[in-house]
Amino acid sequence: MNGSRSGRIWIIVAISVLGLLVVSEIASLTLIGSGPELSVKDGGPGGLSLAFGEMEGRADVEVLLTSPSLLLEEDDPENTLFISIGPQREYTLTEVHALKKFHQMGGRLLLADDTGRINGLTNYFDMTVVRGQLYDEIFVGHPDIVKVDDVELGTFSGFLLLNRPSSVIFSGGLGIIRTSPSSWVDRNGNGVMDNLTSAQGEAPGPRYVGAISDPDFEDEGRGAAVLISDPSMFMNHMIEEEDNMEFLRELIDHLLPNGGKIIVDESVHETPGAGSWVQRGLSGAVFLITDVNLKIVMGTIAAISVFALAYVHEAPGRHRHIHMLDRTGVAEIVDPDISSGDIPEMRKVLLDKVRVANGMSRDAFSSLDWDRIRSMISHDTLYGFARYGRMPKGSDLTAILLEVNNWEKR
Amino acid sequence: MSGFTSRAVGYSSAATVLMVLAFVLSSELFLIGGLLCMALMVLSFSFIPGRPKVERELEREQCFEDETIEVLLKLDGRKQAGNLEVFDRLSPGALLKNSSNCAMLPPGKRSIRYVIEAPLRGYHPVGPTSVRRWDPLWLWFSQGEIDNKSLLTVFPSMITEKARVMKIAKIKQRPGDMKLRRVGLGKEFHSIRDYNTTDPFNTINWKASARNRKLLVNQFEAESVTDVMFLLDSRMVTRVGTMIDNPLEQSIRFTASLAAGLLQSSNRVGLIIYGSTVSVFRPVGGTSNLTGILHDLTNVTPSGYNTMGATVEYSLPYLDPNVPVVLLSPLSEDPTVKEAIKNLIGRGHPLTVVSPAGVEYERMVYEGKITPKYLLKRMARKNLIDDIRSMGAKVIDWTPDHDLAWAIMEVWK
């Protein structure tokens, strides 16, 4: 095995962290979690089913469930209208990039939002949704329901009824819906017209609720984006009020003068019922293969996985019979050399050799005095060694050992 | 156990890189390439062959050292794609003589034949068979073992021919069959006597009884069989040298050879083995008991530090008076040797010490070099042997230069 245990653990940790990053990123994008409000599939008062029906009557309509990133694959953007009404999440960088590309290729966009979530996209068209509810002295029944008659869009003339709208600021484009001079924006959300002096104040004056980025898009053959700061006006319970439906028709006709295809972005809404899980799964898959951040993370995971695979890979060894018949063992000659620790044994060997050479038993030999033994050994050096373990100066144990080995009875 | 090869790592790396490139560059070409790589891997994985049945046939299950055994391995599986790598595990004490115990085969009915040599006595396992099943592209494998273990019993080598023709020089002092001129239950006729009630009928000499008009029975010469006890040293220190050539193995071969010869001559042979324990096998006679003795010897493993003195003390109750004892020991690393020998001789046991020189086997480990320690140990050993000889024991100093036949001949001198 090539890899150490700690190395493997670090690889597993790295892959797990990156995997969690991917999962959490996908979850945060797909788990919208605020219900099917403003969904074209919702037939309730808050849904857009009536507006959707109107769209279907005027063009081919396609519902986009996954992500606007797929707009890059669009064949005929000049005759395609992308509609996003009341998005319940912000668009990712990849989606913004795809929508910008779609616009550059001549695509048309109808965007409606009163929360500012869509500003990440509309800033590209120099348009911004201003946070804060717009109030006007011209309202119907309740100050939240604002009535507007200043609409500059094609041949449209009539009244629009808005439901708690925001306002739009823009540069370079053209306002298409304007409120009366008595309207004001409650920026601090306290419901009272105050803070009149500051630059971001709530002073009354005409505000725009709708704008188009490029009014001459038709002549120039460019793309166009319409931003409306009140998605509620297209809701089922509002669309049939005053001329809201007529306004929607006019918008579609204006943006798609030659007809074509409408793509309704439902990826920003939660699909009602069990289908929401299918939608989340599909969205997750599309994010995985289109989102730039996720691509980087996935690429890193893939690279780490490949390296990890190579790191932990254990090539299957070839089978081979291994015998142990060559093994050797030693007991008495573990260390081939002698040392001072061997002196007692050397003395014993010498005395035994003398004893055996003289044919004596151990007891008989033990009873002899050293003078007798000295005469038996007849070798002063060996006698000194046998009696005292003494060695002559300059000689080593090996030399004494050789003397003992060569000793013979005279 | 399953696994993958470097080739699989290459395939998966290529597939991963191509898939990442396909997503990053939105390229269908890379996507097709990546999917193709993945498809090949998955496809090949699905063709891993099934587990085959494996049976083994040994030419015979018992043999003597240095003999060869042919092994036949039969595989039976479905014929399909993929490959099989078969490896028949062998005991580390066995050698491959011919062919190989590892083979690459296509699935189906196949067989492998190989020959092993058993240079070391013991119970050697053959198997289990390890089967590695490979996919056709050699990317994946699944490995498993098939429980088909066989046991090869390798007895120590013997020189029975020489033992059979040996002559016993001094009958009373050496083991072997000897006839005594007295009445017993032998086969040679000795005399006729009157019948008494305890005599078996088949001993009645009917012709002599008719002539003398009274019942007479035949008497036969007694055949005295000698009990010989082998005292085998199997301590750890007897394992010096190589696995095949060391004091213990030489002692075991010697014991087996001499025991076979003695049994053939109607003697009885007993065995005392000491090492980590002391095992006493009472004397038995008849050639049919040779196999039992061989099994006892085959089972010996070098271990333990029991001394000869303690062993003799323990074994004396099992030794009949005056029974000849053959002691097999390198006589090393045991301070009780002289005491034990004195004890045996004192009890009247004729003692023959066969001592494979452990220190000489150790010298062979050092490529035959004469080192100072060797010199010292050799002198100590010589003194010890001289002492033992002076006690009245016959000592055979068996160096590696001499073979088994020499050692046995020395016993009978």
Interface test with A, best of B7, B17, B23 (most A CBs within 10 A): B23
Residue B328 counted as domain residue: yes
Residue B311 counted as domain residue: yes
Residue B161 counted as domain residue: no
CB contact at 8 A, A127 and A168: yes
The pLDDT value recorded for residue A198 is 62
- Mean pLDDT across B250-278: 91
The Cα–Cα gap between A309 and B340 comes to 66
CB contact at 8 A, A86 and A38: yes
Q: Helix crossing, A275-290 with A5-30: angle to 10°?
A: 120
Q: Phi and psi (nearest 5°) for A302? A: -60, -45
Q: Are residues B206 and B242 in the same domain?
A: no
Question: Looking at beta carbons, which residues of chain A come within 8 Å of B359?
Answer: 332-333
Q: Are residues B240 and B364 in the same domain?
A: yes
Q: Say if residue A289's pLDDT is above 50.
A: yes
Tokens (6 digits) for A191: 């419901």
Q: Are residues B191 and B104 in the same domain?
A: no
Please give, rounded to a whole number of angstroms, the shortest distance from the CA of A321 to a CA of chain B.
7
Q: Are residues B144 and B262 in the same domain?
A: no
The pLDDT value recorded for residue B53 is 92
Residues 20-39 of chain B with CB under 8 A from chain A are 20, 23-24, 26
Q: Are residues B265 and B369 in the same domain?
A: yes
Q: Are residues B110 and B73 in the same domain?
A: yes
Q: Are residues B253 and B335 in the same domain?
A: yes
State whether residue B410 is helix, strand or coil. helix
Eight-state DSSP code of residue B176: S
CATH assignment at residue B102? 2.60.120.570
Residue B62 counted as domain residue: yes
Interface test with B, best of A297, A321, A400 (most B CBs within 10 A): A321
Parallel/antiparallel/unpaired status of strands B140-146 and B95-98: unpaired
Which of B87, B89, B119 has its CB closest to that of A325?
B119
Q: Which residues fall within 8 angstroms of residue B12, CB to CB, at 6 or more apart?
A: A306, A309, B37, B41
Count of alpha carbons within 13 angstroms of residue A258, beta-carbon side: 9
Q: Are residues B290 and B405 in the same domain?
A: yes
Q: Are residues B39 and B76 in the same domain?
A: no
Residues 370-399 of chain A with CB under 8 A from chain B are 397-398
Question: Looking at beta carbons, which residues of chain B come within 8 Å of A342?
Answer: 373, 376
pLDDT digits (tens, 9 = 90+) for A334-363: 888 888 889 999 999 999 999 999 988 888
- Mean pLDDT across B266-285: 90
Cβ of A405 and B246 within 8 Å?
no
Residue B162 counted as domain residue: no
Locus of tokens 């003397």: A403
**A185-199, B31-45, B170-184: the lowest-pLDDT one:** B170-184
CB contact at 8 A, B192 and B216: yes
**A42-46, B245-249, B293-297: the lowest-pLDDT one:** A42-46
Eight-state DSSP code of residue B204: B
Residues 71-110 of chain A with CB under 8 A from chain B are 72
- Cis, peptide link before residue A316, omega less than 30° from 0: no
The pLDDT value recorded for residue A34 is 57
- What domains, with CATH codes, occur in chain A? 34-269 (3.40.50), 340-406 (no CATH)
Cβ of A332 and B120 within 8 Å?
no
C-alpha distance from residue B19 to each of A69, A73, B253 (Å):
19, 19, 69
Shortest CA distance from A359: residue in chain B: B390
Q: Are residues B192 and B304 in the same domain?
A: no
Q: Say if residue B367's pLDDT is above 50.
A: yes
Confidence of residue B172 (pLDDT cuts 50, 70, 90): very low
Q: Are residues B127 and B259 in the same domain?
A: no
State whether residue B23 is helix, strand or coil. helix
Shortest CA distance from A307: residue in chain B: B13
Cβ of B362 and A337 within 8 Å?
no
- Mean pLDDT across B383-388: 94
Is pTM beyond 0.80? Reply is no
Locus of tokens 């329901």: A145
Please give, rounded to a whole number of angstroms, the shortest distance from the CA of B382 to a CA of chain A.
9
Question: Looking at beta carbons, which residues of chain A come within 8 Å of B243?
Answer: 324-327
Range of the domain at B121: 53-155
Residues 26-45 of chain A with CB under 8 A from chain B are none
Question: Looking at beta carbons, which residues of chain A come within 8 Å of B16?
Answer: 302-303, 305-306
Q: Which of B188, B177, B137, B163 is nearest to B11 (CA)?
A: B137
- Mean pLDDT across A236-262: 90
Cβ of A338 and B376 within 8 Å?
yes
Residue B164 counted as domain residue: no
A339 touching B (Cβ < 8 Å): no
By the 10 Å C-beta count (0-12 exposed, 13-18 middle, 19+ buried), A388 is classed as: exposed
Interface test with B, best of A73, A330, A348, A351 (most B CBs within 10 A): A330
B335 touching A (Cβ < 8 Å): no
Which residues in A52-159 belong to E strands, given as ranges? 60-64, 80-85, 108-112, 127-130, 133-135, 139-140, 142-148, 150-151
Give me the number of domains chain B comprises. 4
B107 or B165, higher pLDDT: B107
B40 or B227, higher pLDDT: B40
Q: What is the largest CA-CA distance in chain A?
A: 148
Q: Are residues B233 and B101 in the same domain?
A: no
- Apex B57 CA angle, B51 and B58, nearest 5: 135
The Cα–Cα gap between B393 and B363 comes to 27
Q: Which residues fall within 8 angstroms of residue B251, CB to CB, at 6 or more apart?
A: B232, B233, B238, B328, B329, B354, B356
- Which of B120, B155, B190 terminates a domain? The answer is B155
Locus of tokens 């040679």: B188
Confidence of residue B167 (pLDDT cuts 50, 70, 90): very low
Cβ of A316 and B5 within 8 Å?
yes
A209 alpha-carbon distance from chain centroid: 38
A295 touching B (Cβ < 8 Å): yes
Q: What is the mean pLDDT of chain B?
A: 87
Which of A336, A349, A398 has its CB closest to that of B380?
A349
- Which of B189, B224, B259 terminates a domain? The answer is B224
The pLDDT value recorded for residue B357 is 94
- Which of B166, B201, B224 terminates a domain? The answer is B224
CATH assignment at residue B392? 3.40.50.410
Residue B101 counted as domain residue: yes
Residue B174 counted as domain residue: no
